[in-house]
Structure 1
Amino acid sequence: MKNEILIGCSSYNNRYWKGIFYPDNLTYSKWFEFYSQYFSTYEFNGSFYKFPTLRILTNWYNKAPENFLFSVKAPKEITHIKQFSDCENLISEFYNVCENGLKEKLACVLFQFPPSYYFTSERLKQIISNLDLKFKNVIEFRHKTWWNQEVWDAFMENNITFCSVSHPQLPQTIFKDFPLVYIRLHGVPNMFYSSYSVEELLQIKNTTNLKSGFIYFNNTASEAGILNALEMKRIMI
Protein backbone atom coordinates (compact mmCIF):
# COMPACT_ATOMS: atom_id res chain seq x y z
CA MET A 1 0.00 0.00 0.00
CA LYS A 2 1.44 3.32 -1.06
CA ASN A 3 0.06 6.71 -0.12
CA GLU A 4 -3.26 5.21 0.88
CA ILE A 5 -5.14 5.51 4.16
CA LEU A 6 -7.55 2.64 4.80
CA ILE A 7 -10.62 3.33 6.92
CA GLY A 8 -12.31 0.84 9.21
CA CYS A 9 -13.85 0.16 12.59
CA SER A 10 -12.74 -1.67 15.72
CA SER A 11 -16.03 -3.54 15.91
CA TYR A 12 -18.71 -4.58 13.44
CA ASN A 13 -21.07 -6.63 15.62
CA ASN A 14 -23.17 -3.72 16.78
CA ARG A 15 -26.93 -3.77 17.28
CA TYR A 16 -27.02 0.04 17.22
CA TRP A 17 -26.05 -0.06 13.55
CA LYS A 18 -29.05 -2.10 12.47
CA GLY A 19 -31.33 0.07 10.39
CA ILE A 20 -28.57 2.72 10.19
CA PHE A 21 -25.87 0.71 8.42
CA TYR A 22 -27.08 -2.89 8.34
CA PRO A 23 -30.44 -3.42 6.61
CA ASP A 24 -33.21 -4.43 9.02
CA ASN A 25 -33.74 -7.71 7.20
CA LEU A 26 -30.06 -8.70 7.08
CA THR A 27 -29.24 -11.69 9.28
CA TYR A 28 -26.41 -11.36 11.80
CA SER A 29 -24.36 -14.02 9.99
CA LYS A 30 -24.14 -11.68 6.97
CA TRP A 31 -23.04 -8.58 8.88
CA PHE A 32 -19.30 -8.95 8.31
CA GLU A 33 -19.84 -9.69 4.63
CA PHE A 34 -21.88 -6.49 4.40
CA TYR A 35 -19.26 -4.52 6.36
CA SER A 36 -16.51 -5.71 4.01
CA GLN A 37 -18.42 -4.38 1.00
CA TYR A 38 -17.89 -0.86 2.36
CA PHE A 39 -14.53 -1.14 4.14
CA SER A 40 -11.33 -2.95 3.25
CA THR A 41 -9.88 -3.22 6.74
CA TYR A 42 -10.98 -4.24 10.21
CA GLU A 43 -9.26 -3.91 13.58
CA PHE A 44 -9.72 -7.24 15.33
CA ASN A 45 -10.10 -6.56 19.05
CA GLY A 46 -11.52 -9.89 20.19
CA SER A 47 -7.96 -11.18 20.53
CA PHE A 48 -7.42 -8.72 23.41
CA TYR A 49 -9.90 -10.60 25.58
CA LYS A 50 -9.20 -14.15 24.41
CA PHE A 51 -5.95 -15.44 22.95
CA PRO A 52 -6.64 -16.12 19.24
CA THR A 53 -6.32 -19.57 17.76
CA LEU A 54 -5.14 -20.55 14.31
CA ARG A 55 -8.60 -21.92 13.55
CA ILE A 56 -10.34 -18.65 14.44
CA LEU A 57 -8.01 -16.44 12.41
CA THR A 58 -8.11 -18.85 9.48
CA ASN A 59 -11.91 -18.55 9.53
CA TRP A 60 -11.58 -14.76 9.41
CA TYR A 61 -9.13 -15.08 6.53
CA ASN A 62 -11.54 -17.27 4.58
CA LYS A 63 -14.58 -15.04 5.01
CA ALA A 64 -12.79 -11.77 4.17
CA PRO A 65 -12.61 -10.76 0.50
CA GLU A 66 -9.40 -10.58 -1.47
CA ASN A 67 -7.21 -7.56 -0.61
CA PHE A 68 -8.95 -7.14 2.76
CA LEU A 69 -6.59 -6.36 5.66
CA PHE A 70 -6.82 -7.08 9.38
CA SER A 71 -5.00 -5.38 12.20
CA VAL A 72 -4.92 -7.56 15.30
CA LYS A 73 -4.73 -6.42 18.92
CA ALA A 74 -2.45 -8.35 21.27
CA PRO A 75 -4.02 -10.22 24.20
CA LYS A 76 -4.25 -8.38 27.52
CA GLU A 77 -2.30 -11.24 29.09
CA ILE A 78 0.73 -9.86 27.23
CA THR A 79 0.19 -6.10 27.59
CA HIS A 80 -1.83 -5.69 30.79
CA ILE A 81 -1.10 -8.68 33.01
CA LYS A 82 2.50 -9.56 32.19
CA GLN A 83 3.30 -6.18 30.63
CA PHE A 84 5.97 -7.76 28.40
CA SER A 85 7.74 -9.42 31.36
CA ASP A 86 8.60 -13.10 30.99
CA CYS A 87 6.25 -13.64 28.08
CA GLU A 88 8.58 -14.17 25.12
CA ASN A 89 6.86 -17.45 24.25
CA LEU A 90 3.40 -15.89 24.43
CA ILE A 91 4.43 -13.05 22.15
CA SER A 92 6.03 -15.47 19.70
CA GLU A 93 2.90 -17.64 19.71
CA PHE A 94 0.72 -14.59 19.08
CA TYR A 95 2.82 -13.50 16.10
CA ASN A 96 2.78 -17.04 14.68
CA VAL A 97 -1.00 -17.39 14.95
CA CYS A 98 -1.52 -13.99 13.29
CA GLU A 99 0.91 -14.74 10.47
CA ASN A 100 -0.25 -18.27 9.75
CA GLY A 101 -3.94 -17.55 10.18
CA LEU A 102 -4.26 -14.29 8.26
CA LYS A 103 -1.33 -14.65 5.85
CA GLU A 104 -1.23 -11.74 3.37
CA LYS A 105 -4.35 -10.25 4.95
CA LEU A 106 -2.44 -9.40 8.14
CA ALA A 107 -1.76 -5.67 8.26
CA CYS A 108 -0.58 -4.46 11.68
CA VAL A 109 -0.05 -6.01 15.07
CA LEU A 110 -1.27 -3.65 17.80
CA PHE A 111 0.02 -3.67 21.37
CA GLN A 112 -1.99 -1.40 23.67
CA PHE A 113 -0.66 -0.82 27.17
CA PRO A 114 -2.79 0.16 30.20
CA PRO A 115 -3.02 3.70 31.68
CA SER A 116 -0.90 2.62 34.65
CA TYR A 117 2.04 1.73 32.39
CA TYR A 118 4.18 4.88 32.52
CA PHE A 119 7.41 5.55 30.66
CA THR A 120 10.83 4.40 31.75
CA SER A 121 13.86 3.84 29.56
CA GLU A 122 13.99 0.25 30.79
CA ARG A 123 10.41 -0.39 29.70
CA LEU A 124 11.12 1.13 26.32
CA LYS A 125 14.07 -1.21 25.81
CA GLN A 126 11.99 -4.16 27.00
CA ILE A 127 9.25 -3.41 24.47
CA ILE A 128 11.65 -3.18 21.55
CA SER A 129 13.58 -6.30 22.54
CA ASN A 130 10.37 -8.35 22.69
CA LEU A 131 8.96 -7.29 19.32
CA ASP A 132 9.47 -9.24 16.13
CA LEU A 133 10.53 -6.40 13.89
CA LYS A 134 9.58 -8.15 10.66
CA PHE A 135 5.94 -7.31 11.45
CA LYS A 136 4.18 -3.95 11.20
CA ASN A 137 4.17 -3.27 14.93
CA VAL A 138 2.00 -0.51 16.36
CA ILE A 139 2.22 0.54 20.00
CA GLU A 140 -0.60 2.40 21.74
CA PHE A 141 0.12 3.97 25.10
CA ARG A 142 -2.42 5.28 27.57
CA HIS A 143 0.01 7.24 29.78
CA LYS A 144 1.15 10.62 28.49
CA THR A 145 4.76 10.15 29.68
CA TRP A 146 5.34 8.07 26.54
CA TRP A 147 4.92 11.15 24.37
CA ASN A 148 8.62 11.99 24.36
CA GLN A 149 11.52 12.17 21.94
CA GLU A 150 13.42 9.20 23.37
CA VAL A 151 10.49 6.93 22.56
CA TRP A 152 9.93 8.39 19.11
CA ASP A 153 13.60 8.14 18.14
CA ALA A 154 13.81 4.52 19.31
CA PHE A 155 10.66 3.60 17.42
CA MET A 156 11.90 5.23 14.23
CA GLU A 157 15.21 3.37 14.49
CA ASN A 158 13.37 0.05 14.81
CA ASN A 159 10.59 0.61 12.26
CA ILE A 160 7.87 0.68 14.93
CA THR A 161 4.78 2.87 14.65
CA PHE A 162 3.64 5.06 17.53
CA CYS A 163 -0.14 4.95 17.57
CA SER A 164 -1.98 8.26 17.23
CA VAL A 165 -4.98 8.37 19.55
CA SER A 166 -8.03 10.48 20.04
CA HIS A 167 -8.65 9.92 23.73
CA PRO A 168 -10.08 12.16 26.47
CA GLN A 169 -6.93 12.11 28.62
CA LEU A 170 -4.15 11.97 26.04
CA PRO A 171 -2.40 14.29 23.56
CA GLN A 172 -4.24 14.49 20.25
CA THR A 173 -1.09 14.47 18.10
CA ILE A 174 -1.42 12.82 14.70
CA PHE A 175 1.94 11.19 14.00
CA LYS A 176 2.88 10.92 10.34
CA ASP A 177 6.65 10.32 10.36
CA PHE A 178 6.60 6.72 11.55
CA PRO A 179 6.46 3.75 9.12
CA LEU A 180 2.69 4.06 9.00
CA VAL A 181 -0.02 6.43 10.06
CA TYR A 182 -2.11 4.49 12.56
CA ILE A 183 -4.97 6.37 14.21
CA ARG A 184 -7.43 5.06 16.77
CA LEU A 185 -10.41 7.32 17.39
CA HIS A 186 -11.93 6.38 20.73
CA GLY A 187 -14.37 9.27 21.11
CA VAL A 188 -13.92 12.64 22.84
CA PRO A 189 -15.14 13.77 25.33
CA ASN A 190 -17.17 10.61 26.00
CA MET A 191 -14.93 7.65 25.29
CA PHE A 192 -16.50 5.05 22.95
CA TYR A 193 -19.62 7.21 22.50
CA SER A 194 -18.74 10.66 21.17
CA SER A 195 -19.01 11.42 17.48
CA TYR A 196 -16.51 13.44 15.44
CA SER A 197 -17.59 16.44 13.41
CA VAL A 198 -16.96 16.75 9.68
CA GLU A 199 -14.49 19.54 10.50
CA GLU A 200 -12.52 17.24 12.80
CA LEU A 201 -12.44 14.50 10.18
CA LEU A 202 -11.30 16.95 7.51
CA GLN A 203 -8.46 18.06 9.77
CA ILE A 204 -7.33 14.44 10.08
CA LYS A 205 -7.53 14.02 6.32
CA ASN A 206 -5.42 17.12 5.73
CA THR A 207 -2.85 15.98 8.30
CA THR A 208 -2.48 12.53 6.73
CA ASN A 209 -2.45 13.64 3.10
CA LEU A 210 -0.11 11.56 0.89
CA LYS A 211 0.63 9.12 3.71
CA SER A 212 -0.01 5.38 4.08
CA GLY A 213 -1.77 3.80 7.01
CA PHE A 214 -4.98 3.05 8.85
CA ILE A 215 -7.71 4.96 10.63
CA TYR A 216 -9.92 2.91 12.92
CA PHE A 217 -13.03 4.21 14.66
CA ASN A 218 -13.41 2.75 18.14
CA ASN A 219 -16.31 5.00 19.18
CA THR A 220 -18.56 2.01 18.62
CA ALA A 221 -20.72 2.00 21.77
CA SER A 222 -23.35 3.82 19.71
CA GLU A 223 -23.98 4.53 16.04
CA ALA A 224 -21.19 7.18 16.02
CA GLY A 225 -18.39 4.88 14.88
CA ILE A 226 -19.98 3.59 11.70
CA LEU A 227 -21.36 7.00 10.69
CA ASN A 228 -17.94 8.59 11.24
CA ALA A 229 -16.21 5.80 9.29
CA LEU A 230 -18.56 6.23 6.34
CA GLU A 231 -18.07 10.01 6.40
CA MET A 232 -14.30 9.63 6.69
CA LYS A 233 -14.27 7.29 3.71
CA ARG A 234 -16.32 9.78 1.71
CA ILE A 235 -14.06 12.77 2.40
CA MET A 236 -10.84 10.78 1.81
CA ILE A 237 -11.79 10.20 -1.83
Structure 2
Amino acid sequence: MKNKILIGCSSFNNKLWKGIFYPDTLSGKDMFSFYYQYFKTYEFNGSFYRFPTVKVFENWCNKTPEDFIFSVKAPKEITHISKFLNCETRINEFYKVCKLGFKEKLGCVLFQFPPSFSFSEERLELIIRNLDLNFKNVVEFRHESWWNERVWAAFLKNNITFCSVSHPQLPQTIFKDFPLVYIRMHGIPKLFYSSYSSKELLQIKHEIASKSGFIYFNNTASEAGILNALEMKRIIL
Protein backbone atom coordinates (compact mmCIF):
# COMPACT_ATOMS: atom_id res chain seq x y z
CA MET A 1 0.00 0.00 0.00
CA LYS A 2 2.38 2.70 -1.25
CA ASN A 3 1.39 6.37 -1.18
CA LYS A 4 -2.31 5.58 -1.06
CA ILE A 5 -5.00 6.80 1.29
CA LEU A 6 -8.21 4.78 1.50
CA ILE A 7 -11.39 6.49 2.65
CA GLY A 8 -14.30 4.79 4.38
CA CYS A 9 -16.87 4.91 7.17
CA SER A 10 -17.18 3.23 10.55
CA SER A 11 -20.77 2.15 9.91
CA PHE A 12 -23.01 1.89 6.86
CA ASN A 13 -26.52 0.79 7.91
CA ASN A 14 -28.13 4.20 8.18
CA LYS A 15 -31.64 5.12 7.03
CA LEU A 16 -30.71 8.80 7.23
CA TRP A 17 -28.47 8.28 4.21
CA LYS A 18 -31.36 7.29 1.96
CA GLY A 19 -31.95 9.87 -0.73
CA ILE A 20 -28.49 11.30 0.04
CA PHE A 21 -26.30 8.29 -0.70
CA TYR A 22 -28.51 5.22 -0.84
CA PRO A 23 -31.49 5.11 -3.23
CA ASP A 24 -34.78 5.68 -1.42
CA THR A 25 -35.99 2.18 -2.28
CA LEU A 26 -32.83 0.31 -1.24
CA SER A 27 -33.41 -2.31 1.48
CA GLY A 28 -31.18 -2.58 4.52
CA LYS A 29 -29.78 -5.92 3.42
CA ASP A 30 -28.43 -4.32 0.23
CA MET A 31 -26.78 -1.31 1.85
CA PHE A 32 -23.33 -2.82 2.24
CA SER A 33 -23.18 -4.06 -1.35
CA PHE A 34 -24.07 -0.50 -2.40
CA TYR A 35 -21.45 0.94 -0.02
CA TYR A 36 -18.56 -1.09 -1.42
CA GLN A 37 -19.29 0.12 -4.94
CA TYR A 38 -18.11 3.54 -3.79
CA PHE A 39 -15.50 2.78 -1.11
CA LYS A 40 -12.62 0.33 -0.95
CA THR A 41 -12.42 0.05 2.83
CA TYR A 42 -14.64 -0.28 5.89
CA GLU A 43 -13.86 -0.01 9.59
CA PHE A 44 -15.63 -2.96 11.22
CA ASN A 45 -16.83 -1.81 14.65
CA GLY A 46 -19.32 -4.60 15.41
CA SER A 47 -16.49 -6.67 16.88
CA PHE A 48 -16.15 -4.07 19.65
CA TYR A 49 -19.52 -5.08 21.07
CA ARG A 50 -19.42 -8.82 20.45
CA PHE A 51 -16.41 -11.10 20.12
CA PRO A 52 -16.38 -12.19 16.46
CA THR A 53 -16.06 -15.61 14.88
CA VAL A 54 -14.09 -16.70 11.84
CA LYS A 55 -17.35 -17.53 10.05
CA VAL A 56 -18.73 -14.02 10.58
CA PHE A 57 -15.60 -12.40 9.17
CA GLU A 58 -15.44 -14.88 6.29
CA ASN A 59 -18.98 -13.93 5.30
CA TRP A 60 -18.03 -10.26 5.18
CA CYS A 61 -14.82 -11.04 3.33
CA ASN A 62 -16.46 -13.20 0.67
CA LYS A 63 -19.07 -10.62 -0.30
CA THR A 64 -16.59 -7.85 -1.12
CA PRO A 65 -14.38 -7.17 -4.18
CA GLU A 66 -10.83 -8.54 -4.27
CA ASP A 67 -9.23 -5.16 -3.56
CA PHE A 68 -11.45 -4.33 -0.57
CA ILE A 69 -9.79 -3.80 2.83
CA PHE A 70 -11.27 -4.19 6.32
CA SER A 71 -9.89 -2.59 9.45
CA VAL A 72 -11.22 -4.24 12.60
CA LYS A 73 -11.84 -2.87 16.10
CA ALA A 74 -10.88 -5.06 19.05
CA PRO A 75 -13.61 -6.16 21.48
CA LYS A 76 -14.32 -3.95 24.47
CA GLU A 77 -13.80 -6.92 26.78
CA ILE A 78 -10.11 -6.59 25.88
CA THR A 79 -9.68 -2.81 25.84
CA HIS A 80 -12.37 -1.49 28.20
CA ILE A 81 -13.09 -4.30 30.68
CA SER A 82 -9.78 -6.15 31.02
CA LYS A 83 -7.72 -3.19 29.75
CA PHE A 84 -5.12 -5.68 28.46
CA LEU A 85 -4.64 -7.23 31.91
CA ASN A 86 -4.52 -11.04 32.03
CA CYS A 87 -6.11 -11.45 28.60
CA GLU A 88 -3.19 -12.56 26.43
CA THR A 89 -5.10 -15.64 25.28
CA ARG A 90 -8.15 -13.59 24.31
CA ILE A 91 -6.04 -11.07 22.38
CA ASN A 92 -4.30 -13.84 20.46
CA GLU A 93 -7.67 -15.44 19.73
CA PHE A 94 -8.91 -12.16 18.30
CA TYR A 95 -5.86 -11.84 16.05
CA LYS A 96 -6.40 -15.40 14.83
CA VAL A 97 -10.06 -14.77 14.02
CA CYS A 98 -9.12 -11.61 12.09
CA LYS A 99 -6.42 -13.37 10.07
CA LEU A 100 -8.45 -16.48 9.26
CA GLY A 101 -11.64 -14.55 8.56
CA PHE A 102 -10.46 -11.63 6.48
CA LYS A 103 -7.29 -13.21 5.04
CA GLU A 104 -5.61 -10.88 2.53
CA LYS A 105 -8.37 -8.28 3.00
CA LEU A 106 -7.32 -7.55 6.58
CA GLY A 107 -5.98 -4.04 6.95
CA CYS A 108 -5.41 -2.68 10.44
CA VAL A 109 -6.34 -4.03 13.85
CA LEU A 110 -7.59 -1.15 16.00
CA PHE A 111 -7.36 -1.10 19.78
CA GLN A 112 -9.30 1.81 21.28
CA PHE A 113 -8.90 2.45 25.00
CA PRO A 114 -11.44 4.32 27.19
CA PRO A 115 -11.03 7.89 28.57
CA SER A 116 -10.27 6.44 32.01
CA PHE A 117 -7.15 4.72 30.65
CA SER A 118 -4.45 7.31 31.34
CA PHE A 119 -0.76 7.01 30.55
CA SER A 120 1.74 5.15 32.71
CA GLU A 121 4.99 3.42 31.85
CA GLU A 122 3.50 0.14 33.03
CA ARG A 123 0.49 0.48 30.74
CA LEU A 124 2.67 1.40 27.78
CA GLU A 125 4.79 -1.70 28.32
CA LEU A 126 1.64 -3.79 28.77
CA ILE A 127 0.28 -2.67 25.41
CA ILE A 128 3.49 -3.34 23.51
CA ARG A 129 4.01 -6.70 25.19
CA ASN A 130 0.53 -7.91 24.26
CA LEU A 131 0.36 -6.72 20.66
CA ASP A 132 1.27 -9.15 17.90
CA LEU A 133 3.71 -7.09 15.87
CA ASN A 134 3.09 -9.20 12.76
CA PHE A 135 -0.15 -7.24 12.29
CA LYS A 136 -0.78 -3.61 11.34
CA ASN A 137 -1.66 -2.43 14.84
CA VAL A 138 -3.32 0.91 15.49
CA VAL A 139 -3.91 2.20 19.01
CA GLU A 140 -6.44 4.93 19.77
CA PHE A 141 -6.37 6.70 23.12
CA ARG A 142 -9.09 8.85 24.62
CA HIS A 143 -6.94 10.37 27.39
CA GLU A 144 -4.62 13.25 26.47
CA SER A 145 -1.77 12.00 28.67
CA TRP A 146 -0.83 9.54 25.90
CA TRP A 147 0.16 12.41 23.61
CA ASN A 148 3.82 12.33 24.66
CA GLU A 149 7.22 11.61 23.17
CA ARG A 150 7.81 8.49 25.27
CA VAL A 151 4.76 6.81 23.77
CA TRP A 152 5.52 7.89 20.21
CA ALA A 153 9.11 6.68 20.37
CA ALA A 154 8.06 3.28 21.75
CA PHE A 155 5.38 2.89 19.09
CA LEU A 156 7.78 3.77 16.29
CA LYS A 157 10.34 1.30 17.60
CA ASN A 158 7.72 -1.47 17.54
CA ASN A 159 6.04 -0.54 14.25
CA ILE A 160 2.76 0.45 15.95
CA THR A 161 0.60 3.28 14.62
CA PHE A 162 -0.66 6.00 16.96
CA CYS A 163 -4.19 6.81 15.84
CA SER A 164 -4.94 10.38 14.79
CA VAL A 165 -8.31 11.37 16.23
CA SER A 166 -10.67 14.20 15.48
CA HIS A 167 -12.52 14.38 18.77
CA PRO A 168 -13.94 17.31 20.80
CA GLN A 169 -11.82 16.60 23.89
CA LEU A 170 -8.52 15.55 22.31
CA PRO A 171 -5.57 17.13 20.45
CA GLN A 172 -6.13 17.41 16.71
CA THR A 173 -2.66 16.16 15.77
CA ILE A 174 -2.37 14.36 12.44
CA PHE A 175 0.39 11.79 12.90
CA LYS A 176 2.42 11.20 9.74
CA ASP A 177 5.58 9.44 10.93
CA PHE A 178 4.14 6.10 12.01
CA PRO A 179 3.90 2.99 9.78
CA LEU A 180 0.55 4.22 8.45
CA VAL A 181 -1.63 7.29 8.63
CA TYR A 182 -4.80 6.24 10.46
CA ILE A 183 -7.36 8.99 11.09
CA ARG A 184 -10.73 8.59 12.81
CA MET A 185 -13.12 11.50 12.27
CA HIS A 186 -15.57 11.44 15.17
CA GLY A 187 -17.22 14.83 14.69
CA ILE A 188 -16.53 18.26 16.24
CA PRO A 189 -18.11 19.93 18.16
CA LYS A 190 -20.91 17.37 18.49
CA LEU A 191 -19.46 13.90 18.80
CA PHE A 192 -20.69 11.48 16.09
CA TYR A 193 -22.95 14.15 14.53
CA SER A 194 -20.99 17.19 13.40
CA SER A 195 -19.88 17.67 9.83
CA TYR A 196 -16.46 18.79 8.60
CA SER A 197 -16.07 21.72 6.21
CA SER A 198 -14.35 21.48 2.83
CA LYS A 199 -11.58 23.64 4.25
CA GLU A 200 -10.97 21.19 7.10
CA LEU A 201 -10.87 18.21 4.74
CA LEU A 202 -8.48 20.00 2.37
CA GLN A 203 -6.17 20.76 5.28
CA ILE A 204 -6.00 17.06 6.12
CA LYS A 205 -5.20 16.25 2.51
CA HIS A 206 -2.27 18.69 2.55
CA GLU A 207 -0.96 17.30 5.83
CA ILE A 208 -0.89 13.69 4.60
CA ALA A 209 0.36 14.33 1.08
CA SER A 210 2.39 11.36 -0.28
CA LYS A 211 1.48 9.21 2.74
CA SER A 212 -0.33 5.86 2.91
CA GLY A 213 -3.10 4.80 5.24
CA PHE A 214 -6.77 5.14 6.11
CA ILE A 215 -9.30 7.83 6.98
CA TYR A 216 -12.55 6.63 8.54
CA PHE A 217 -15.55 8.84 9.23
CA ASN A 218 -17.31 7.95 12.45
CA ASN A 219 -19.62 10.99 12.50
CA THR A 220 -22.31 8.63 11.25
CA ALA A 221 -25.14 9.45 13.65
CA SER A 222 -26.23 11.98 11.03
CA GLU A 223 -25.82 12.34 7.28
CA ALA A 224 -22.47 14.06 7.92
CA GLY A 225 -20.36 10.88 7.86
CA ILE A 226 -21.27 9.72 4.38
CA LEU A 227 -21.20 13.22 2.87
CA ASN A 228 -17.78 13.90 4.37
CA ALA A 229 -16.47 10.51 3.21
CA LEU A 230 -17.64 11.12 -0.35
CA GLU A 231 -16.11 14.60 -0.40
CA MET A 232 -12.84 13.37 1.11
CA LYS A 233 -12.66 10.67 -1.52
CA ARG A 234 -13.04 13.27 -4.27
CA ILE A 235 -10.43 15.49 -2.64
CA ILE A 236 -7.87 12.72 -2.21
CA LEU A 237 -8.32 11.46 -5.77
- Which residue does the alignment assign to 2:48? 48
What is the 5 A alignment of 1:55-134?
55-134=55-134
TM-score by length of 2: 0.99
User: How many correspondences in the alignment?
Assistant: 237
2:176 is the counterpart of 1:173: no
Q: Output the CA distance in 2 between the equivalents of 1:68 and 1:89.
A: 29
Q: Output the CA distance in 2 between the equivalents of 1:90 and 1:13.
A: 29
- Which residue does the alignment assign to 1:195? 195
Deviations 1:129-156 (A, max 9, x none): 0000000000000000000000000000
Secondary structure class of the residue paired with 2:6:
strand
What is the 5 A alignment of 1:145-184?
145-184=145-184
Unaligned runs of 5+ in 2: none
Q: Output the CA distance in 2 between the equivalents of 1:96 and 1:14.
A: 30
Deviations 1:27-62 (A, max 9, x none): 221111110000000000000000011110000001
Q: Output the CA distance in 2 between the equivalents of 1:65 and 1:162.
A: 28
- Which residue does the alignment assign to 2:140? 140
Q: Output the CA distance in 1 between the equivalents of 2:52 and 2:207.
A: 34
Q: Output the CA distance in 1 between the equivalents of 2:26 and 2:191.
A: 29
- Which residue does the alignment assign to 1:12? 12
Q: Output the CA distance in 2 between the equivalents of 1:2 and 1:36.
A: 21
2:210 is the counterpart of 1:210: yes
Aligned-residue offset at 1:194: 0.2
Deviations 1:70-98 (A, max 9, x none): 00000000000000000001000000000
Aligned-residue offset at 1:64: 1.0
Q: Output the CA distance in 2 between the equivalents of 1:196 and 1:66.
A: 31
Q: Output the CA distance in 1 between the equivalents of 2:126 and 2:98.
A: 22
> Which amino acid is the alignment partner of residue 179 of structure 1?
P
Secondary structure class of the residue paired with 1:70:
strand
Q: Output the CA distance in 2 between the equivalents of 1:77 and 1:25.
A: 38
Deviations 1:142-194 (A, max 9, x none): 00000000000000000000000000000000000000000000000000000
Secondary structure class of the residue paired with 1:184:
strand
Q: Output the CA distance in 2 between the equivalents of 1:206 and 1:52.
A: 37
Secondary structure class of the residue paired with 1:111:
strand
Identity of aligned residues (%): 73
TM-score by length of 1: 0.99
Unaligned runs of 5+ in 1: none
Q: Output the CA distance in 2 between the equivalents of 1:225 and 1:26.
A: 19
Q: Output the CA distance in 1 between the equivalents of 2:119 and 2:60.
A: 35
After the TM superposition, which segments of 4 or more aligned residues of structure 1 sit over 2 Å from their partners?
Answer: none
What RMSD, in angstroms, separates the aligned Cα atoms of the two structures?
0.4
